[in-house]
Structure 1
Amino acid sequence: MTGTNGKTTTTRLLAHIAMTAGKRTAWSSTDGIVVQGEVVEPGDYSGPAGARGVLEAPGVEIGILETARGGMLLKGMGVSHNDVSVVTNVSPDHLGLRGVDTLDQLAEVKAIVTRATRSGGWTVLNGDDPRVWAMRTAVRARPWAFSLDPASPALREALSAGGRGITVLDGDLAVLAPGADPDRLVPVVDVPMTLSGLSAHNTANALAAAAAALAVGLPRASVVEGLRTFQPDATLNPGRMNLYTAPAGHGGSCTVVVDLAHNEAGLEALLDVCDGLRPAGSSVRLGLGSAGDRTDEILQSLGEIAGRRVDQVVAAHKAHYLRGRTMGGLEEQLRIGLARAGVADIESFPTELSALEALVAAASDGDVVAVMCHAEREDIYAWLASAGATPDSAATIRRKVVAARGEHEAEAAIAALWQDEDPERRIATAAALHAEHAGDPRIAYEHGGTLDSAGRPDEAVPLYREALAGGLREPYRHRAVVQLASSLRNLGRVEEAVRLLDDVAAEHPDSLGIAAFRALALHDAGRSDEALSVLIGTVAATSTDPDVARYRRSLTAYGKDLTS
């Protein structure tokens, strides 16, 4: 197993699938030598020593070797052959070290694992990466292409050569074989490590792991079960896209993403995930850092990517990974890149943890906070637990992804609810939805709306309050305030209604709807002149009617005169 990015995650997923199939499994990686999920030797074992440790593990049936560039250059691969090889991708990283200065040279090093694959075996290659796919021309084994694009030429070429393919077909992970219908394994959204389909690079990793598992002869059912049960958490995939919900410093909650993101491609992938998790109006905040053995160009590029895509950047240093640089020298290169993106200055923190603490303290409700974590993973996990953060389940991640699109996982049910013309049936349906989604502020809001529209404001009020207290976000939050105020007005609690509408009108001064409800409440409070002034003033300020435009100045003045 090799590649610039994704090899550790793919190794872990493949091992999980193998253990799901009942095979005694050992693997080596940058985290150590692991047997049946237990780390027996911690450390970076992505070289020959790791291979030896795996193969010497008692009773091992399947051995998975994460094989890094450095180990192969220094001491070789550690085995004379393999049954299945996997190459995830080749991208700029560690260039300028040990005579490897270009991507083509790096690809040559990575290709060593494919040339050691026996003739009856399989080489699982990324068909979306030209350098990786080109490796098939120098191997004895059969090609198995994986691609996110079902129309990829690599898939056709693999099948024409008697090989296999695996891709995403209409939302499903699907295996392709010559002369056969696609074998749809599982929907992408049901594979937790894809983050409900949000993470393209983890979808590619899932394709690679599934192909390798099938290639080594594991049962299809075990492959599907393994894909469904491998969680992107600190237990099964530590340090790789681990998501948490944490209390935000300025109220509400934020999402925290802990990820290695050790190069440009990794950072772009991390920020793609962050963008897909943040609701409209929220911010992405990043603890930016790197090991010191990257070139100046790569460090500057990391800074530029962060500056271009992130709302708040701080430097998060890794003292144990300076590798010949100083903190100041490394940060200088990051700052050069940030300056290219127009970021003039950033705060600097000596550790990843202190950077994360500062970012969470600065976060508001809905923000996404990411830290490029290399050195202090366990410290960060411990701090998150002490700060009241909770790991995100697959269901929570799915809700966040859908919510960030301005939708809800029950959007179809909500739409159907409001198409029902029978008020009592609407209420019953909403109550059932509320029971199914207990604690969900959007569903509480919709439930309240069904009661409100049926003339039962006394029952709607507590549901609106529940939704608001539960962190209901825009565009529904201000509507819930308006509907709560309207219900209070209908219950005779006019002063409460006016206070709520005054506040929400200040936040949304151009809303004619809010102005209308505010005018009604002011009228009921005996402030009719003020009510008319509010309505005329808002119409004058916002209407595009040509007659209003013609008399805008006069209407504005007359509205003000009503309360002078």
Structure 2
Amino acid sequence: MEVHVPEPLREAAADAWRRHARTLCDALGWTDAPLTVRPFPRGLSLALGSPVDLLYTATEVNEAAWARARAEVEGNDLPDLGETVERLTREAAEEADPPLKALLAAAEARGMPVVWDDDAVTVGLGSRGKTFAPDALPDPDAFDWDAVGPIPTALVTGTNGKSTTVRMLAGMARAAGHTVGFSTTDAVTVGDEVVDRGDFSGPLGARAVMRDERVTLAVCESARGGLLRRGVPVPLVTAAALTNVAADHLGDYGVETVPALADAKLVVAKALGPGGVLVAPTDEPEATAAVRRQADALAARGVAIRWTALDPTDAVAGPLAASVVDGAISLQTDGGWRPLCRVEEIPAALGGAARHVVRNALTASALGEALGLRDDAIAAGLRAFRSDETDNPGRANQFDVDGARVVIDYAHNAHGLSALADLATTWDARRRLVLFGSAGDRSDADLAAMCDVLARLQADRYVLVEIPGYLRGREAGAVPALLERLLRERGVPSDAFVQRADPASGTAFALDWAEAGDLVILLALTQRDEVLQLVKDAGG
């Protein structure tokens, strides 16, 4: 739980919460429940442990402890302790689930992954899992534990590149003959079937993949929000990757700095047990630093760190597992490198111009090796991977519209925009147009950082659009107006701007404006299907 507390009261509030939380936990018999206070610039993050079958009650305990702490610090009467304990005891009795607790304990003793929620409990994963209704759990002593087990599983987190890395790795696993289940910001997919569409980069998507008994290998995107709200979506995985870390969504859930964000994303490493593999870059400073901070703890748990870098001499954090050597994606082997495929053979890398895609390829290749995939399958997956609306929707998807190059991309932060801008500088263009909008919950500083990158594109037209449904506290029209002001401050002339009500209407303007030889970049964060259809209807 995050609470905003003025700095002068912060220490007293933290001490009061600890005392009241301990009193309530002890009253419930949770005498060994850990209590954690994490200060952040605007307040405190307050966390406590509980029996695994009493998580809802634990949230009530936390809120009750804070209510008492706040009353104490503010000099008000405290809620009646007896009534509070009586209520919490009643709620704990109603929530208690001895069969679930026994099953989870037995699974943990065997190193068996279990995925569970209010709807179902799955022992084992994918094709080696069995799913039960919460009110029909098996007796751990009578259960056939040999009939269930783990499957090769990977989690991918980071600021950018998660979905691309997941899809690349899924292609490698398909080439190896696996029935792959994977979840991203776009869908849950099993084999060739899209099981569900939407943002499934959190625990819901991971559970859907792990419960599908067709799945023989699983790859799940693990975004910041899900990790902060729900924690690691799978308790035990084979490998995990941190692609990069940059300023994005700072201020949410008490995460105010980039190092704190990196630590939050690296929660995925908690799912790695002895023999597990963490893949991380040596040439992404914040990600590298976060992993190095945890290196000793990871080693103590038997987790291996596999570093990647574009430059094979960039081994500042440790020996590299994957790099680009003599123009080829290569994996480290005893005494040298073994090449998988040349960078120019990867369609999505655009001949190497898309350096961020090459980084993703290194991460996916290292993960593939950790999951036991053959080199030929890893290479086949790379050679087949395209940056189009089928293989990698919204990632530099290119279309020819009457001689104009139209690019659809979902970049939505300065780090992602910078990668796209680097790529765009390699494209010749007679004129340039950029369509962009942002959700209202982005800070002015975030928007300014994005405008730094947008100005680098030196577009002839900037189509600034509202994102309907994502005002998030700002007035209608405020974000496009702020973007225009920020871009003007960065030297963009006043006659370069056009504002439209949404991405679809902005796209219609852009396509009408475009002529042969032009470059049109559509940073369409919403109305993606409509934008894609408009481009296709125009001949793309």
Above 0.5 in TM-score? yes
Distance between the aligned counterparts of 2:223 and 2:157, measured in 1? Answer: 6
Stretches (4+) displaced over 3 A: none
1:260 aligned partner, one-letter code: Y
Distance between the aligned counterparts of 1:195 and 1:278, measured in 2? Answer: 14
Please, which of 420, 431, 451 is the counterpart of residue 283 of structure 1? 431
Q: Give yes or no for contact 1:95–1:101 (8 Å, CA) kept in 2.
A: yes
Q: What whole-Å deviation, never above 9, does each CA across 1:339-380 have from its counterpart, x for those lacking one? A: 221224311011212222322322332221101122122112
Q: Give yes or no for contact 2:466–2:477 (8 Å, CA) kept in 1.
A: no
Q: Give yes or no for contact 1:300–1:333 (8 Å, CA) kept in 2.
A: no
2:327 aligned partner, one-letter code: G
Q: What is the aligned residue count?
A: 375
Please, which of 153, 158, 162 is the counterpart of residue 318 of structure 2? 158
Please, which of 178, 182, 189 is the counterpart of residue 34 of structure 1? 189
Q: What whole-Å deviation, never above 9, does each CA across 1:91-130 have from its counterpart, x for those lacking one? A: 0100111101100110110111123212202111011123
Distance between the aligned counterparts of 2:399 and 2:404, measured in 1? Answer: 8
Which residue in the other structure is 2:503 paired with?
A: 352
Q: Give yes or no for contact 1:33–1:54 (8 Å, CA) kept in 2.
A: yes
Distance between the aligned counterparts of 1:366 and 1:158, measured in 2? Answer: 46
Q: Give yes or no for the alignment of 1:229 onto 2:384.
A: yes
Distance between the aligned counterparts of 1:321 and 1:20, measured in 2? Answer: 39
Residue correspondence of structure 1 range 11-410 to structure 2 within 5 A: 11-134=166-289, 135-136=291-292, 137=295, 138-139=297-298, 140=301, 141-154=303-316, 157-159=317-319, 164-177=320-333, 179-247=334-402, 253-279=403-429, 282-311=430-459, 312-345=461-494, 346-389=497-540
Q: Give yes or no for contact 2:405–2:517 (8 Å, CA) kept in 1.
A: yes
1:153 aligned partner, one-letter code: A
Percentage identity across paired residues of the two chains: 35
Distance between the aligned counterparts of 2:251 and 2:180, measured in 1? Answer: 35
Any idea what SS the aligned residue of 1:115 has?
helix
Q: Give yes or no for contact 2:465–2:480 (8 Å, CA) kept in 1.
A: no
Which residue in the other structure is 1:485 paired with?
A: none
**Cα-Cα RMSD:** 1.6
* Greater displacement, 377-386 / 199-208: 377-386
Structure scoring higher RCO (CA < 8 A, sep ≥ 6) equals 2
Q: Give yes or no for contact 1:300–1:336 (8 Å, CA) kept in 2.
A: no
Q: Give yes or no for contact 1:274–1:284 (8 Å, CA) kept in 2.
A: no
Give the superposition deviation at 1:170.
Answer: 2.0
Q: Give yes or no for contact 1:308–1:341 (8 Å, CA) kept in 2.
A: no
Distance between the aligned counterparts of 1:11 and 1:175, measured in 2? Answer: 19
Any idea what SS the aligned residue of 1:356 has?
helix
Distance between the aligned counterparts of 2:169 and 2:239, measured in 1? Answer: 12
Q: What whole-Å deviation, never above 9, does each CA across 1:305-346 have from its counterpart, x for those lacking one? A: 212322221103321333333341212321232022122431
Distance between the aligned counterparts of 1:59 and 1:376, measured in 2? Answer: 32
TM-score (norm 2): 0.67
Q: What whole-Å deviation, never above 9, does each CA across 1:457-515 have from its counterpart, x for those lacking one? A: xxxxxxxxxxxxxxxxxxxxxxxxxxxxxxxxxxxxxxxxxxxxxxxxxxxxxxxxxxx
TM-score (norm 1): 0.64
Any idea what SS the aligned residue of 1:314 has?
strand
Give the superposition deviation at 1:260.
Answer: 0.5
Any idea what SS the aligned residue of 1:319 has?
coil
Which residue in the other structure is 1:468 paired with?
A: none
Which residue in the other structure is 1:473 paired with?
A: none
Q: Give yes or no for contact 1:278–1:284 (8 Å, CA) kept in 2.
A: no
Distance between the aligned counterparts of 1:366 and 1:269, measured in 2? Answer: 22
Distance between the aligned counterparts of 1:322 and 1:236, measured in 2? Answer: 31
Distance between the aligned counterparts of 2:192 and 2:211, measured in 1? Answer: 16
Q: Give yes or no for contact 2:160–2:416 (8 Å, CA) kept in 1.
A: yes
Please, which of 134, 146, 162 is the counterpart of residue 7 of structure 1? 162
Distance between the aligned counterparts of 2:507 and 2:165, measured in 1? Answer: 27
Any idea what SS the aligned residue of 2:469 has?
helix
Higher CA-based Rg: 1
Gaps of 5+ in 2: 1-155
Q: What whole-Å deviation, never above 9, does each CA across 1:158-195 have from its counterpart, x for those lacking one? A: 33xxxx52111221111123x42211111111101111
Gaps of 5+ in 1: 248-252, 390-564
Any idea what SS the aligned residue of 2:253 has?
coil
